[in-house]
Amino acid sequence: MTSVVMRNLPPEVLARVLGDRSTNLHHLAEDPVRVLISSAFWLAGGGWITYFISFNIFHVPAERWLGTLRWLGVVVIAHVGATYISEGALYWAIRHGHAPASAVDTLDIGVSYGLAGVIAVLTYRIAPPWRYLYVTAVLAFFAVPLFVDLNFTAIGHFTAALLGLGCYPLVRSHRSTWSPVEAVRRVRRRRAVS
């Protein structure tokens, strides 16, 4: 729904709408609950199709595996935690002259911190030894921007992934794992029977 709104608003109105829902330092200081909730419903670049695919690859299996409440817990922990840590890093940068004072109003919206946390928590769904390859790939994917273009968003995504991994207590009772080797074997057995 928000993608339709974004596509149909004039640019100056869209900038005002998104700016009002941004989890920037200014809004976090004045109305944190409202902006933490409202910012999580807007897409920040990439187009809706990218998010549609990502949600189906990561969020859907995570919610089916964990149940809605635990899945939502991971999303909220990643979104809120990464927002505060990344904005805290931006605040530090402003205070120490590494970012302009105007950065307190930097646009910060989107679903990506929650997505990063869910991508990371899915590590525990994958059977060893594939789990170790997966977590290495996830951490590398979110760590590379820290070295290529260090900014508060890169810090936020890496933090969200770490917070997702930190959600192990929410998932440890869900011991069932998924093995790519077993998945291939099941497909082959089905084809052999057909």
Could you tell me which of 114, 94, 108 has the C-alpha nearest to residue 32?
108
**How many structural domains does the chain have?**
1
More confident residue, 89 or 180: 89
> What residue type is assigned to position 24 of the chain?
N
Using one digit for the tens of pLDDT, what is the confidence trace for 125-146?
A: 999 999 999 999 999 999 999 9
User: Cis peptide leading into 11, omega within 30 of 0?
Assistant: no
CA dihedral 180→183→189→193, nearest 10 degrees, is -150
Its pTM surpasses 0.85: yes
Q: Tell me which residue range forms the domain holding 165.
A: 2-193
